[in-house]
Amino acid sequence: MEYHNGACCIGAVYIAIFCCCPIWDPPAPSPLVPPSPVAFLCFCSMYDASHHGYYLVQAMRLGVEEINNSSRLLPNVTLGYEIYDTCSPSSNMYATLSVLSQGGGESCCGARQLAVAANYTHSLPKVVGVIGPDTSENAFTTASLLGVFCMPEVSYEASSKMLSNKRTFPSFLRTIPSDQLQVDAMVRLLKTFGWTWVAVVGSDNNYGLQGLQMLHEAAPQEGICFAYQGVIPASSAEVARMIVDVVASAANVVTIFANKRSALLFLREVTRQNVTGKVWLGTEDWSLATEIWKIPGVQGIGTVLGVTIHQARLSGMKAFEAAFAASEEAGAHPEHGGDAGSCRNCKERCGQRFSRFHKLPDRQEPSPYDTQGAFSVYSAVYVMAHALHRLLGCQTGVCRKGTVYPWQLLKEVKRVNFSLNHRQIYFDTNGDPLVGYDLVLWTWAGQEWNYTVVGSFDRNPDRLSMHKDRLLWHTEDNQVPDSVCSKECGTGEQKVQQGMHQCCFHCVGCSPGTFLNRSDPYTCQKCQKDQWAPDRSEACFDRTVVFMLWDDPISVALLAANTLLLLLVAGTTGVFVRNRHTPVVKSAGGWMCFAMLGALACAGLSLYCFFGAPGHFACLLRLSVYSTCLTGCLSCMAARSVQIVIVFKMAARAPGLYGAWRKYHGSGLLIGAITGLQGTMVLTSLTISPPAPYKNYEAFEELILLECSQGNTVIPVFWMIFNGLLGVACFTISYAGKDLPNSYNEAKCITFSNLIYFVSFITYATAVSIYKGKYLAAIHIATLLCTLAGIFGGYFAPKAYVILFHPHLNTNQHFQMSIQSYTKRVNAAG
């Protein structure tokens, strides 16, 4: 078959193939013939013949031949096609308008007069579908025009993300993934190996510029920074300066998002400058390109990883090409194809430029890049055939005859879903195939190049799989190379950015009460109020709510001690009631003994309010009752001390003082005044700001103290100060009567009781300053209990002991003898 600029009509249904594959030799310019104003397509091939383009044409022809020679898809329909060489923008525009035309004359050498219908619904152009072109730049032109007519277009190598916009390009589909997916795969690969400090360069075309833009948008979201980014210039001198800047950036990974031509220029200069020890990450356009790995010395630049479309081979391609070559050698093809009459003067004007494409250089084995693109073309042909199969109702074994409009075919193209060479072919809503990528590693055996598939990136869902055992790095110990600006921080250390890149930082540990959330490594976040965190933490922990549980071992011990004290107080009260007329009870204060015992009992009962979760009632009672009762007890001791001192120390000096003391009930007045003053302060405090249960978050980092608020904290302080001063007064007065008769010597008992009171609170104050734990409340309760126990043990226990175990000492005679001895001693001293 002859390939030419016109149509090759072999059936009833036509498709157009746009292919940038120069297959004619350009004519030598003639100085005698002036340039024609018509853009003759036979002049468009200005570059060397393309092996890659040739191989794609053969893959397309293979698909058409298979479909036409089989009754499975289009049993009574022959698929025809036209092939256009889109080697320049003008030829690409010509090809697009040509397939849309419905007739018109044709000038020599393919200069066709085009006519496009205005009624797009019933427009019947020459073809019903288009395959190609191979570049995104050309695809923007074709997709814009063909979309107006709803003519399906399936490209095999145009990968721009913008072509997925169905509002702009409604009829565009493709058998190669969008560059957006390639960017996602590359970013996922960088993240997998922890490469966050990367240099990235791109080609100066839509492919490279848009790739750089998408990388710039996607990489920072994964914590990847660009140490250097730039566009590969056309000048070798400028490329040399660019490589110097790339090396100076200290990035050990370089991403080259470029086409073959720019990647070849860049890597040649990399090799010339002897840049080694880096990882080079390539895109599908050059990762398997023969021109790149044939660069002399390229095997020494480091590790080359590439992204390629999932490989799928055409099993019958080799036999088909061999048969075609044999037929061409035998001269089976005419020198012209198509309608010779329509271009009867072409040979005279164009000469050999219109010949077969046997002028290609010696054919060679297809490269992996060729086979990758060949399957994309092959599958695009089958997409059209499957869509026609559905549209023409060929499921019954016979395709219906009738008019086929492009927009009808477009609907079916969007819905195709079939298996081809063990790969499922179908499109998403954007017209993109649900196909992923292979990740390949360049390998060398001496000067022999090869590649190994080391991973894959699959869609639906998106996931990256790596076979790390297949990776061979350029490092001496075959370890993954580092490419970071700053080493990762330790556990619980936030990153403090340095400079403009978030990948450059120094590390600062999170303070207590804050934690480092891995979703935001640049900020230590504060824990919630009911949580805590130690220094350099990556999580917060729930605080322990602390209060005196009834069943806690320490609580049980304190409850047992308090209950025992209350039993002793109750027992002593019974003993004192039974012996209330005896000298011991009278010398202890008589009725004041029972007031003191009652106050001790009330204070002891108030300690039960300190256990369990505090409630409003317990908060109101516990400290207020305890302070008031302690004041009452101390005031009785103070009154008794004053009374004894008056009797024994001041009776001789002021004989009327004791009489007045007894006449006006001095003891009662003193006790009432002191206790009343304390009670007034307590009631005032409870009225102004009553205590209530609350959670104390400030005392400890790890604990929440469930306790009672003191409301206005000034007045409760006065309670403690008042009792403290009262204790000091008791101690002072009782100390003044230390030399009284032994039977009436209450001073020693009162002094000892107050001494225990002071020691208890000094011990508590010391414990609070050095201990921070959940048993602080227990220490407080123990302090209060020790105070009560000290008063009981120092004042009442000795008297109860005499009453119970030495009744002979509890007689009037014994007390009279004690007084007489004291009187003689005083007189002797006087």
Which residue ranges make up each domain of the chain? Answer: 7-176+313-335+354-426, 179-283+436-470, 493-542, 553-829
Report which secondary-structure segment, H or E, holds 789. helix 776-791
Structure tokens at 91: 């030829």
585 Cβ neighbours under 8 A, 6+ residues apart: 576, 579, 593, 799, 803
Sign of the alpha-carbon dihedral angle for 88, 93, 96, 100:
negative
In CATH, 179-283+436-470 is 3.40.50.2300: yes
- Residue 790: the pLDDT is 86
Q: CA-to-CA distance for 92 and 673, rounded, in angstroms?
A: 113
Q: CA-to-CA distance for 360 and 3, rounded, in angstroms?
A: 13
657 Cβ neighbours under 8 A, 6+ residues apart: 646, 650, 651
Instruction: List helix spans (H) across 548-590.
Output: 553-578, 583-587
- Residue 462: the pLDDT is 80
Query: How do 278-282 and 302-309 pair as beta strands?
Result: parallel
Q: CB neighbours (10 Å) of residue 713?
A: 10
- Residue 35: the pLDDT is 35
Q: CB neighbours (10 Å) of residue 550?
A: 11
Give Cα 587 distance to the centre of its chain: 80
DSSP string for residues in 220-273: GGGT-EEEEEEE--SSHHHHHHHHHHHHHTT-SEEEEE--HHHHHHHHHHHHHT
CA angle 586, 590, 596 (to 5 degrees): 135
Q: Answer yes or no: same fold for 7-176+313-335+354-426 and 179-283+436-470.
A: yes
Q: CA-to-CA distance for 93 and 142, rounded, in angstroms?
A: 7
Structure tokens at 766: 């010391």
Place of tokens 């044999």: 326
Q: Give the long-range contacts of residues 506-515, CB within 8 A, separation 24 or more.
A: 509/535, 509/536, 510/535, 510/536, 510/537, 511/535, 512/537, 512/701, 513/701, 515/539, 515/540
Query: DSSP class of residue 402?
Result: S
Of 194, 214, 192, 212, which Cα lies nearest the Cα of 203? 212
Are 720 and 624 in contact by the 8 Å Cβ rule? The answer is no
What is the number of alpha carbons within 13 Å of residue 314 lying toward its C-beta?
28
Of 508, 519, 507, 513, which Cα lies nearest the Cα of 535? 513
Q: CB neighbours (10 Å) of residue 599?
A: 24
Q: CA-to-CA distance for 409 and 139, rounded, in angstroms?
A: 19
The residue type at 47: Y
Q: CA-to-CA distance for 255 and 193, rounded, in angstroms?
A: 14
Right CATH for 7-176+313-335+354-426 from 1.10.287.70, 3.40.50.360, 3.40.50.2300, 3.30.2270.10:
3.40.50.2300
What is the number of alpha carbons within 13 Å of residue 13 lying toward its C-beta?
29
Place of tokens 């477009």: 410
List the CATH code of the domain at 553-829. 1.20.1070.10
- Residue 48: the pLDDT is 47
Q: CA-to-CA distance for 449 and 295, rounded, in angstroms?
A: 11
pTM of the model: 0.63
Of 758, 792, 399, which Cα lies nearest the Cα of 629? 792
Report which secondary-structure segment, H or E, holds 766. helix 746-770
736 Cβ neighbours under 8 A, 6+ residues apart: 645, 649, 747
Q: CA-to-CA distance for 480 and 722, rounded, in angstroms?
A: 75
With 0-12 / 13-18 / 19 or more C-beta atoms within 10 angstroms meaning exposed / middle / buried, residue 296 is exposed
Of 520, 515, 499, 498, which Cα lies nearest the Cα of 507? 498
Are 298 and 292 in contact by the 8 Å Cβ rule? The answer is yes
Q: In whole angstroms, how far apart are CA 446 and each of 30, 288, 300?
A: 49, 18, 11
Of 183, 308, 259, 215, which Cα lies nearest the Cα of 228? 215
Structure tokens at 820: 């007489």
Q: What is the CA radius of gyration of the chain?
A: 52
With 0-12 / 13-18 / 19 or more C-beta atoms within 10 angstroms meaning exposed / middle / buried, residue 750 is buried
Q: In whole angstroms, how far apart are CA 262 and each of 22, 104, 283, 342, 380?
A: 20, 41, 12, 42, 28
Structure tokens at 156: 């095999």
Place of tokens 């016109």: 6
Are 223 and 502 in contact by the 8 Å Cβ rule? The answer is yes
Burial per residue of 81-114, b for 16 or more beta-carbon CB atoms within 10 angstroms, e otherwise: bbbbbbbbeebbbbbbebbbbeeeebebbbbbeb
Of 548, 754, 766, 538, which Cα lies nearest the Cα of 641? 754
Structure tokens at 596: 């003191």
Q: CA-to-CA distance for 692 and 143, rounded, in angstroms?
A: 76
Q: CA-to-CA distance for 271 and 295, rounded, in angstroms?
A: 8
- Residue 756: the pLDDT is 82
Report which secondary-structure segment, H or E, holds 755. helix 746-770
Q: CA-to-CA distance for 20 and 439, rounded, in angstroms?
A: 27
CA angle 315, 321, 325 (to 5 degrees): 160
Of 304, 665, 593, which Cα lies nearest the Cα of 454? 304
Q: CA-to-CA distance for 546 and 703, rounded, in angstroms?
A: 7
Q: Which of the residues in the chain have pLDDT under 70?
A: 1-50, 103-120, 325-364, 646-659, 662, 710-716, 734-747, 773, 812, 814-830
Looking at the chain, the whole-number percentage of residues with pLDDT higher than 70 is: 80
